[in-house]
């Protein structure tokens, strides 16, 4: 499969692919009217997007018929959804962002962040899960790390307490 970088889809077309995948996962197939409803766009907008995705061989599309994803289209859509989920999880779990705001923000970020950057978020999240500093105290404006204080009581990292 060609990767997402080689298809050069706009953010809008990526949103259509993501919506089509979500609808297919829920209903088995995606009808253009369901896509329009999910994305809050007109039927004419959906028709134009479906033609563009069909020309790129990412979907199977014929007027007045349901839409399915090609194998390349499904892989591309799942890649987008994966980026979205990873970004959203990072925003919610580690930055304590409200879930709705995290979802809206992830929807914007998923289109512009390179896969390598998303992977670094994932690695940072894994590191933070094993960090000796528990909870979300580090989000507070007055938080001081072990390197900043002489008497650390927040993280339990004895080595850093004695070295400072």
Quickly state the pLDDT bin for 46 (edges 50, 70, 90): very high
CATH number, span 1-130 = 1.10.10.10
pLDDT recorded at residue 2: 44
If you average pLDDT over residues 104-128, what whole number do you get? Answer: 90
53 close to 69: Cβ distance less than 8 angstroms = no
Q: Which residues contact 110 (CB under 8 A, 6 or more apart)?
A: 14, 80, 83, 84, 87
- CB 136, CB 96: distance < 8 Å: yes
Domain ranges of the chain: 1-130, 133-164
């Amino acid at each position: 499969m060609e990767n997402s970088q080689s298809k050069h889809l706009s953010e809008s077309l990526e949103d259509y692919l993501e919506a089509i995948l979500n609808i297919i996962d829920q209903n088995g197939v995606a009808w253009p009217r369901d896509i329009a409803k999910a994305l809050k766009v007109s039927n004419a907008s959906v028709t134009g997007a479906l033609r563009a995705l069909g020309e790129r061989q990412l979907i199977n599309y014929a007027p007045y018929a349901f839409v399915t994803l090609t194998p390349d289209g499904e892989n591309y859509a799942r890649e987008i959804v994966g980026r979205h989920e990873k970004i959203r999880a990072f925003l919610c779990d580690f930055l304590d962002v409200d879930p709705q705001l995290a979802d809206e923000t992830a929807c914007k970020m998923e289109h512009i962040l390179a896969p390598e950057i998303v992977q670094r978020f994932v690695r940072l999240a894994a590191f933070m899960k094993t960090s000796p500093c528990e909870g979300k105290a580090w989000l507070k404006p007055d938080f001081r790390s072990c390197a900043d204080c002489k008497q650390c009581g927040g993280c339990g990292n004895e080595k850093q307490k004695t070295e400072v």
